């Protein structure tokens, strides 16, 4: 699993001029953000993972969730970040050491807002199904 997380992180930070990287100031975190992290930022984590062995082929089928958080007074910033995430990650080619990339496909997207905060926190949660196969 750590190799998959490393592959995703490397994809996110590969180009510091990329719109997504610039929009969140390079703030990508695994599983949770540090206390008092500067907004906006993006968290990624594994929601579920299935290990399969089929005809001698070893595969990992993992559901990864990206959470986008923005403290802007409108939803525009979070929406822009969502668009940049889709551009970078939809059907992307992922490099995972020792594994062959099969798919990286977007699934559900839903709002993730906290209007009790001042200013309100706008955000989205985005799920991606990732399938990789162990190289021989």
What number is the average pLDDT over the span 58-62? 90
74 has a pLDDT exceeding 90: no
Residue 55 pLDDT = 63
Q: How confident is the model at residue 75 (pLDDT cuts 50, 70, 90)?
A: confident
Domains of the chain listed by start with CATH number: 2-134 (3.30.2000.30)
Instruction: Give strand pairing partners of 53.
Output: 58
Nearest Cα to Cα of residue 3 among 117, 76, 94, 115: 94
**Is the full-model pTM beyond 0.75?**
yes
| Distance separating alpha carbons of residues 13 and 7, to the nearest angstrom | 10
Instruction: Please say if the pLDDT value at position 42 is more than 80.
Output: yes
* pLDDT over threshold 80, residue 20: yes
DSSP alpha helix (H) spans, the chain? 2-13, 19-23, 76-89
Predicted pLDDT at 56: 64
pLDDT of residue 69: 95
Over range 59-64, report the average pLDDT. 93
For strands 57-70 and 99-111, give the pairing.
Answer: unpaired
């Amino acid at each position: 699993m750590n190799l998959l997380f490393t592959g995703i992180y490397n994809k996110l930070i590969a180009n510091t001029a990329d719109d997504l990287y610039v929009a969140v100031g390079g703030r990508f975190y695994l599983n949770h953000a540090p206390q008092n992290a500067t907004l906006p930022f993006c968290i990624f984590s594994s929601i579920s993972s299935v290990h399969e062995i089929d005809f001698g082929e070893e595969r990992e089928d993992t559901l990864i969730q990206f959470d986008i958080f923005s403290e802007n007074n409108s939803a525009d910033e979070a929406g822009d970040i969502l668009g940049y995430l889709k551009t970078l990650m939809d059907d992307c080619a992922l490099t995972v050491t020792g594994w062959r990339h099969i798919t990286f496909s977007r699934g559900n997207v839903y709002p993730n807002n906290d209007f009790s905060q001042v200013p309100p926190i706008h955000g989205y949660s985005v799920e991606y199904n990732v399938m990789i196969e162990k190289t021989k």
